[in-house]
Amino acid sequence: MQIEWSKKNTSFGMLFMLCSGICFVAVIGLVRNLDGSLPAAQASFIRYLIGLIIFVPYFFRVSPIQLGKSNFWRYLARSIFHSLGVVFWFYAMSKLPVAEVTAIGYMTPVFVTIGAVIFFKEKISFWRIGAIVLAFLGVLLILRPGFQNLAFGHISQIGATMFFAGSYLMVKELTRTESATAIVAMMTLFVTIALAPIAFLVWVSPSLMEIISLGFVAFFATLGHFFMTKAVASAPLVVVQPVTFLQLVWATLLGILVFGEGLDPFVVIGGGLIIVSITLISYRESIRKVKTQS
């Protein structure tokens, strides 16, 4: 059955994705503040373990029978992709500036948008293709490949974007039958289990402040995943994914005001291109909806 996306649903989807982005920037700030004091796998595991505690009431209300065989394997596959993405991302956050990690992360929505067209047959116009290319050029301008050395932190973040793209595509499939709460809860459970053996291999004793920080990471990340899941359930991925480019604005301000990373003019110019692309997509989407309804 083909889903008919209303203008109201599209607006809500973009709003949900905007809220998701703000939550994930809060996560970036908290993880950046840890500054690699814990191994990436361990920090990831503690974050998801605390997140799992948040969902304990939910699991008491849900019967295992409701999971279903097909969804079980989808959740399992997604947990593998997401677990690897989280570990790589935690490592990259300890090695790179906030704005740079965020900029590289914009490869994820590009991969997701392409995947949505290929696997879910979502329509994408030349206007959207042009806008996404414009946003991608903005990211390249920020990274300036060939003008700076490619460190292992960069490679780690690129790997994270690829794994996250696979994870988010699976979310889109799950939203056809599962609620946002169920998807986030099951992701938290499966990722916690997947990360446990890796975390214990590199375990070091965390301080109380590190545990508290990861507790806030769990809260904002869980809320961010909930908003993200609601977004992709409300509107096509090709519409809501470009909204995540606004994270660069918040992340750049965070790096300047909190971590004193300085203002890079290339980040400002590249971010401007990204914002123009989002405005273009939003405008063309509203025009298309008016023509469809007339």
- Write out the DSSP string of 1-57: -PPPPPHHHHHHHHHHHHHHHHHHHHHHHHHHHHTT-S-HHHHHHHHHHHHHHHTHH
Give me the pLDDT at residue 191, please.
Answer: 92
CA 261 to CA 146: how far, in whole Å? Answer: 22
Task: Look at residue 271 and tell me if it is in a domain.
Answer: yes
Q: How many domains does the chain have?
A: 1
Q: Is residue 1 a part of any domain in this protein?
A: no
**In a structure prediction context, what are the per-residue pLDDT tens digits for the chain, which is 294 residues long?**
344 445 567 778 888 888 988 898 898 889 888 888 899 899 999 989 998 988 888 887 766 655 665 677 888 888 899 999 999 998 988 888 888 788 777 777 677 777 777 777 777 777 778 877 887 888 788 777 655 666 788 889 889 988 998 888 888 778 777 777 788 888 888 999 999 998 999 999 999 999 999 999 989 988 988 888 888 777 776 677 667 777 777 888 888 888 888 777 877 787 778 777 766 765 665 565 555 555
Give the number of C-alpha atoms closer than 13 A to the C-alpha of residue 155, restricted to the C-beta side. Answer: 4
Instruction: Retrieve residue 238's tokens.
Output: 């090709």
* Residue 128 placed within a domain: yes
Structure tokens at 281: 């997509």
Is 99 within a domain?
yes
> How much is the pLDDT for 118?
79
Q: What is the pLDDT of residue 65?
A: 55
Question: Of 222, 263, 265, which is closest to residue 26 (Cα–Cα)?
Answer: 222
Query: What angle is formed at CA 206 by the lines to CA 205 and CA 207, rounded to 5 degrees?
Result: 120
Q: For residue 286, give the 3-state DSSP assignment.
A: helix
Q: Is residue 2 part of a domain?
A: no
* Domain of residue 199, residue span: 7-293
Single pTM value for the model: 0.74
What pLDDT shows up at residue 141? Answer: 81
Question: Using CA atoms, how far apart are residues 48 and 193, in angstroms rounded to an integer?
Answer: 9
Query: Is 199 within the bounds of a domain?
Result: yes
Is 266 a member of any domain? yes
